[in-house]
């Protein structure tokens, strides 16, 4: 336990309020959980307020207190008002505490309450991931609300240099209070030792991520289809992820059917303990995310997980991806909207086993560079310089 944290947090709990928490999955949910774990391990008195969850999926082994809120966890007005009611009910507790909002859902509610001094916490900490910056900035009224909220905040953080620059370009008032709090490997994630060399019939290319156009599964599939038939016969494409709204999975399946000589497997949504076996069966990891409209890739924790499994990464050089993948060191970054260049990157790794091994070995070390405890200290340690 950190002596600094223990001494400085006595009688001043941290309330982490989020709409993205277990059993929800994804980068923000992982970030919120791991910051809570790291903060508790440092001696902070942490209580997480999270969206409702089925009783069958609940866990009781958290190293912090967990309070489920009577809301679904969306960004609509109904959820904002329900959260506002909870914040008003517990305003006396919150006024003496650090309130941490790690994603945009609760920020929207706090924007409405910030005008009432009675609802302002002792310390307010915010984390921005990327897309919400653009969404807040596009509306003059919401931009004004976000600027006031940032003005009231004690600290503000982002996960990547790209997101930090994006935030400062739209909300320069964050400049004197901004910290970088990058994501790291999950606390239950074990770095996999190098696998022994074995002969395989096929080179497996793997994508793990929700099925959504922004994640680029279709672009990866189309790039692989551009390879010559003799190369396609050497590979399989594995797709792991849950279907999001819309018919994107149907598009992927119909596109895959157009080239039957390219084997494509859809695994659906797999729990973390089953993902290890899938990673172990892969040779190359691909997630060719793109920035769509006001939705951007702010970082990408899944790139670190793939690297920790010793997989070389192929990705688009967009958003904060370059903070997670080092071009030519842990993977190959390709400019977006360059399908021929993307196909060439795959072909290069397919035929160069030594390059795959070199990038994969470097990825294992790279994946360990960040630490959740350091990010938690940057958020909550009062001895770090505040604005």
How open is the CA angle 21-23-29, to the nearest 5 degrees? 30
All domains of the chain in start order, with CATH = 3-184+370-380 (3.40.50.2000), 203-367 (3.40.50.2000)
- What is the model's pTM? 0.88
pLDDT of residue 188: 79
Mean pLDDT, residues 76-89 taken together: 93
Give the residues across from 46 on adjacent strands.
Answer: 14
Mean pLDDT, residues 137-166 taken together: 96
Confidence category of residue 351, pLDDT binned at 50, 70, 90: very high
**Three-state secondary structure call for residue 285:** strand
Please enumerate in sequence order all residues whose Cβ is within 8 A of that of 82, keeping only pairs 6 or more positions apart, or say none: 69, 70, 71
Give the residues across from 15 on adjacent strands.
Answer: 47, 99
Cα R_g (the chain), whole angstroms: 22
Whether residue 198 has pLDDT greater than 90: no
Please enumerate in sequence order all residues whose Cβ is within 8 A of that of 339, keeping only pairs 6 or more positions apart, or say none: 219, 222, 223, 226
Confidence category of residue 64, pLDDT binned at 50, 70, 90: very high
Query: What is the average pLDDT score of the chain?
Result: 91
Tell me how many helices (H) and strands (E) the chain has.
16, 13
Whether residue 387 has pLDDT greater than 50: no
Tens digits of residue pLDDT in 228-245: 999 999 999 999 998 877
pLDDT of residue 353: 94
Least confident of 58-62, 77-81, 185-189: 185-189
Mean pLDDT, residues 48-52 taken together: 96
- If one compares 61 and 1, the residue with the highest pLDDT of the two is 61
The CA-atom distances, in angstroms, between 219 and each of 26, 234, 285 are 21, 19, 14
Picking from 190, 218, 188, 220, the residue whose alpha carbon sits closest to that of residue 204 is: 220
Confidence category of residue 3, pLDDT binned at 50, 70, 90: very low
**CB-based contact 332:348 (threshold 8 Å):** yes
pLDDT of residue 104: 95
**CB-based contact 199:317 (threshold 8 Å):** no
Distance CA(180)–CA(168), nearest Å, equals 13
pLDDT of residue 199: 67
Mean pLDDT, residues 164-169 taken together: 96
Whether residue 192 has pLDDT greater than 80: no
């Amino acid at each position: 336990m950190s002596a600094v944290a223990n001494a400085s947090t006595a009688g001043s709990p941290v309330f982490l309020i989020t709409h993205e928490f277990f059993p929800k999955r994804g980068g923000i949910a992982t970030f919120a959980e791991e910051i809570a774990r790291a903060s508790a391990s440092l001696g902070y008195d942490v209580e997480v307020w999270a969206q409702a969850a089925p009783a069958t999926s609940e866990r009781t082994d958290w190293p912090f207190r967990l309070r489920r809120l009577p809301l679904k966890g969306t960004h609509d007005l109904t959820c904002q008002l329900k959260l506002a009611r909870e914040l008003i009910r517990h305003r006396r507790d919150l006024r003496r505490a650090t309130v941490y909002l790690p994603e945009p859902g609760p920020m929207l509610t706090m924007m409405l309450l910030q005008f009432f001094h009675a609802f302002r916490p002792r310390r307010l900490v915010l984390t921005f991931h990327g897309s919400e910056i653009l969404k807040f900035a596009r509306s003059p009224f919401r931009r004004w609300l976000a600027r006031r909220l940032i003005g009231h905040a004690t600290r503000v953080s982002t996960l990547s240099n790209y997101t930090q620059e994006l935030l400062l370009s739209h909300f320069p008032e964050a400049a004197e209070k901004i910290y970088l709090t990058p994501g790291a490997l999950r606390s239950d994630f074990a770095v996999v030792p190098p696998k022994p060399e074995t002969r395989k019939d096929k080179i497996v290319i793997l994508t793990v991520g929700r099925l959504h156009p922004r994640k680029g599964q279709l672009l990866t599939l189309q790039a692989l289809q551009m390879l010559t038939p003799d190369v396609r016969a050497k590979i399989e494409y594995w797709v792991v992820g849950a279907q999001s709204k819309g018919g994107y999975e149907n598009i992927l399946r119909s596109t895959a059917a157009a080239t039957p000589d390219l084997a494509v497997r859809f695994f659906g949504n797999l729990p973390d303990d089953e993902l290890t076996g899938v990673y172990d069966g892969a040779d190359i990891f691909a997630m060719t995310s793109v920035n769509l409209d006001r939705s951007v890739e702010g970082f990408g924790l899944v790139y670190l997980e793939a690297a920790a499994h010793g997989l070389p990464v192929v990705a688009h050089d967009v958003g904060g991806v370059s903070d997670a993948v080092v071009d030519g060191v842990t993977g190959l970054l390709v400019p977006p909207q360059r399908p021929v260049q993307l196909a060439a990157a795959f072909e290069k790794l397919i035929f160069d086993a030594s390059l795959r091994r070199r990038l994969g070995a470097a990825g294992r070390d790279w994946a360990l560079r960040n630490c959740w405890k350091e990010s938690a200290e940057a958020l909550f340690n009062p001895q770090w310089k505040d604005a």
